[in-house]
Amino acid sequence: MLDLSRREFGGIVFGATALAAMPGCAAMPYNWGLGFQTPQDNLEGELQRISGRLPADLNGVLFRNGPAQFERDGVRLGHWFDGDGMIQRFAISDGKIRHRAKFVMTDKRRDEIKADRFLYSGFGFAPPNPKALKSANDLNAANTSVIKIGSEVWALWEGGSPWRVDGDSLATIGRKTFPGEVDGVPFSAHPKQGPDGEIWNFGGFGNRCVIWQLARDGALKNATLIELPSPSLMHDFAVTKNHVVLLMPPLLWSGGGASTLIDQYSWQADKPFQVLVMDKNDLSKRRLYELPAKYMFHMGNAWEDGDGVIRVDSFMFNDSRFATNTARELLQGQYSAPPESNLTMVTLYPDGRARLDALSGIGEFPRMDPRRVGHQHRYTYGISGSGVARWDWKTGRRSRYHYGADYWAEEPVFAPNPNRTGEDDGWVIATVLNTRKARTELSVFDARHIDAGPIATFACPYALPLGFHGIFAAA
């Protein structure tokens, strides 16, 4: 169990929040600002079928999360990653899709509704006359990702606790509390749940990190504090059957009196990209690797072979401009083509050698069949420009469906076929903002034939804010 007092967290407010990208959109999408408008507090409606038919075996709920509060009292939020989280619920059954959305009623949101203004300095935005923080959870936006725990959905952020939400009504239940000294410790937005149901996660703060281990029902099994080789701003991590893998880009804490988190970090291209590998059964057993400077937000999966070689796939950028600049400009109505990233395999050898091998075709938001978490996979799915793509690690090829320049694609989610076990036996569910028709659409693809286009398309009766991450929970 974690041997750490709450006081030790006093100097670190929180880790990185919802990092996302939309690479490959060279031209400005029509009316793209629709994705950054604050919706009403509660949304509910049935989607209209536009084309095709839903597969008979596809039944369940797609949950998504993302920032949705962009203005208060005439003040425009200054960074995409700081908006209050709103959970989207797409219930798929009997050939129909119903949508429901609600804001997560965090302590931060309640305080700011009462004050009728933004109160706290966050990832990249500092309001006028910010209120002093008592804990990191004071500014927990619960806006990045979700995980399904029993009948609940946990809304996840980077620097504080999960927020518990009812999986049906989306009513906020309350902050998830853990026993003893780990309560309130950072719990990142990208936990990994393997086929056995066990959940691993990390929570970074400066040059230290907590490694979380939870049971399927969310009960705490262990939390271990480790020292990091550098104070990197991490957003995602990976697990194999036997190891925890932390990827640490050289976006490093540099101190100073900056009022926002991102301004306390600097991109240091002369420093290496570090990878820390730890044994799950004994986290003190570690190997450290160094690679040329790269930046990354998201990982797809990791696995190890019989020779002890570990492989991790991730979309890699040349620098951190999206987090430091582009995501600020978007909220101010300034559009510029985002930096490009390539799907890259990181190979880590037992003797300390490491290499990077990139596939062709830019993209982001890597996802794969969740039944393969921690085990070798062949296919990685993600966005590629204003479309959805599948990368084949065996052939090195990318297949892609392009919506068109007027669409803004969000992270696709893999939904396994409950009656088949092959890695590509399932569907890819993707939400996309149709900027011309001012509505969000949901597409379902056969995972084996992404380039053939959607097998079914449905339209919301409204446009939803552009979000980050989601999961599919089978019925």
pLDDT tens digits, residue range 399-420?
Answer: 999 999 899 999 999 999 999 9
> What is the number of domains present in the chain?
1
In a domain, 460, yes or no: yes
> Taking a C-beta distance cutoff of 8 angstroms, is the pair 66, 18 a contact?
yes
Q: Which domain holds residue 412?
A: 6-474
223-232, 255-264, 358-367, 433-442: the lowest-pLDDT one: 255-264
Instruction: Give, in order, the Cα–Cα distances in Å from 308 to each of 34, 159, 300, 305.
Output: 48, 33, 19, 6
Mean pLDDT of the chain: 92
The CATH number of whichever domain residue 454 belongs to comes to: 2.130.10.10
396: tokens are 């090195």
Q: Is the pLDDT of residue 6 over 80?
A: no
In a domain, 90, yes or no: yes
> Taking a C-beta distance cutoff of 8 angstroms, is the pair 341, 316 a contact?
yes
1 vs 208, which has greater pLDDT? 208
Q: What's the DSSP call for residue 326?
A: I
- Which distant-in-sequence residues (6+ apart) come within 8 Å of 201 by Cβ? 187, 188, 190, 191, 192, 211, 212, 214, 237
3-state secondary structure (DSSP) of residue 383: strand
Q: Is the pLDDT of residue 15 over 50?
A: no
In a domain, 117, yes or no: yes
| Predicted TM-score of the model (pTM) | 0.93
In a domain, 412, yes or no: yes
Average pLDDT of the residues in 91-112: 97
Q: Residues 153-191: pLDDT tens digits?
A: 999 998 899 999 999 999 999 999 999 899 999 999 999
Distance CA 387, CA 77 (A): 28
- Nearest residue to 335 (alpha-carbon basis) of 29, 23, 19: 29
Q: Is the pLDDT of residue 10 over 70?
A: no
22-31, 138-147, 189-198, 364-373: the lowest-pLDDT one: 22-31
In a domain, 1, yes or no: no
Q: Is the pLDDT of residue 120 over 90?
A: yes
> Taking a C-beta distance cutoff of 8 angstroms, is the pair 273, 290 a contact?
yes
| pLDDT at residue 205, as a whole number | 84
| pLDDT at residue 133, as a whole number | 87
Distance CA 459, CA 405 (A): 18
| pLDDT at residue 134, as a whole number | 87
In a domain, 465, yes or no: yes
Q: Is the pLDDT of residue 306 over 50?
A: yes
